[in-house]
Amino acid sequence: MSFSVEPLNAETVVIRVGKALDFRNAAEFKAICQEQVQTGVRNFILDFSETGILDSTGLGAIFSLYRQVSPRNGQVVFASVSRPVQVVVQLTRTYKVFRQFPTVEAAQEALQQT
Amino acid sequence: MARYSILVVEDEHTLRRLLEYRLSKYYRVRSAANGEEALQLVLEEIPDLIISDIMMPKMDGFALQQALQSRKETRAIPFIFLTAKADEHSRMRGMRMGVDDYITKPFDIDQLLARIERLLERTKYFQTQLDARIGQDFSKKLMPKQLPSVPGYRLYFHNSPKEYGGGDFFDWTQHPSGSFFITIGDVMGKGLQAKFYAFSFLSYIRGTLYAMLQTAQSPAELLRRVNHVLMQDTVMEETFASLLILRWDPTTHEITYANAGHCRPILVKDRQTAEVVEYSDLILGLDSNATFQDATITIPAGGGLLLYTDGLMEQRTASGEMIGEQGLCELAPKMVGAEDPVQTLLQGILSRCNTDTFDDDILFFWMERLS
């Protein structure tokens, strides 16, 4: 399993993205998120601390998640963004949509306040 | 990767359980006690392969095979007969009906596993070949057949898609005023699906562009409209794309562009210096309120502009780092005046890598203003 899911409360989970999110495991990522959405989760904290590869298919999977949760006022936020992930986020200007936090805890705190 | 699914059809309880147990180490296994039950399971989910006994109550193996052959969606499922009837008559009957393999009881389970593997491999091979053929056909349709011929400029285009490539596309059109509209983009995803969406998406862009050029010529406005379509149309719901649109006027050498999260172009000023064309906005398909801006640059005499997709920039060098914008800024100036600018860039990149091939689809467009 490339991803681990850690529930914080009924509406929020942390997903540890692991070493890579790319065309090889993007379908698995989508399925895992889908399961969470179906149980009522709408806030996702994606932990990128160990992530060395994020390709366009992987990013597309994150976008799908965003489009699913945003009509429910849900959020997708990034935590501990590694340098390779930062490059992709800069290039696609997606930092305009996904808030970034230095740690999972900081992301959690910010989500609790909204 | 999802595991292959196998359907075991066998009326003898012990043998059925044994097959289930041994096969489930490698495959997803479902089982049925006769042909009737099996047909029901096949209709619920089509398996990748069926192993069936011949002699069974209610519906035997021959009848099951016949029923599957009569439906086009089940006709191609690889089928192995497993039977105590070792006589030549049954074997011939099975073969004539299109059974792929035939194993007589008692049998060696490792032999059965080997045959299953071989059959699945063959089926996968055919599927892959078919996908590659369709994919190549799409790839060709996503690229222009020729480039414009413009006095004072030389233009080059290079595209080498990988077998399983993604949704890169490139297109150009000329406005009656003499300016050109150039479009380069990448629909997210890999394989046939990305190609298919890229193809649909390019049609959207062309349609929007042709309709809009009657009244407006702003690349940013065009991006706004295309983004609107992506956000509204349920067919394109899962489509996210980076897109760069440029309006190029060869008489003033001005380029007005808007960039929706696409790889940033490299502006080459002379044979030594290049810089990244900075301004860019959000990728398409994410936010219906996204805004886009036009920006303008000028191509200097003896300079040029390099447009490309991510495969070029993400190529890994010998040190494991990506070539990146920085690498391209160092290599692109060497294209100016080169006899073959395409090869100059490709060789320049590969000389920094440990390999002589690219990892991903490569697409780039080079426009050089003569000095």
Return phi, psi of residue B60, to 5°: -85, 180
- pTM metric for this prediction: 0.76
Question: Span B295-299, mean pLDDT?
Answer: 97
**Closest Cβ–Cβ partner in B166, B286, B322 for A97:** B286
Question: Which A residues, 24 through 53, put their C-beta within 8 Å of a C-beta on chain B?
Answer: none
Give bridge partners of residue B182 from the DSSP assignment: B172, B246
R_g of chain B computed on alpha carbons = 28
What ranges make up the beta strands (E) of chain B? 5-9, 28-32, 49-53, 79-83, 101-104, 153-160, 166-174, 180-190, 241-249, 254-260, 266-268, 274-276, 295-298, 304-308, 362-369
- Top residue of A23, A67, A93 to mutate, by most chain B CBs within 10 Å, is A93
Interface predicted TM-score (ipTM) of this complex, two decimals? 0.80
Distance from the Cα of A105 to chain B's closest Cα (Å) equals 26
Judging contacts by C-beta atoms under 8 Å, the chain B residues touching residue A97 are 282, 286-287
- Minimal CA–CA distance to B145: which of B157, B153, B130? B157
Give the DSSP letter of residue A103. S
**What pLDDT, in 10s, does the model give residues A56-95?**
889 989 999 998 998 889 999 999 999 989 988 888 888 8
Residue of A nearest to B316 (CA): A53
**What pLDDT, in 10s, does the model give residues B4-45?**
999 999 999 999 999 999 999 999 999 999 999 999 999 899
pLDDT the model gives residue A81: 94
Question: Span B269-279, mean pLDDT?
Answer: 95
Distance from the Cα of B173 to chain A's closest Cα (Å) equals 25
Judging contacts by C-beta atoms under 8 Å, the chain B residues touching residue A67 are 237, 285-286
Distance from the Cα of B169 to chain A's closest Cα (Å) equals 15
Confidence of residue B1 (pLDDT cuts 50, 70, 90): very low
Do residue A57 and residue B188 have CB atoms under 8 angstroms apart? Answer: yes
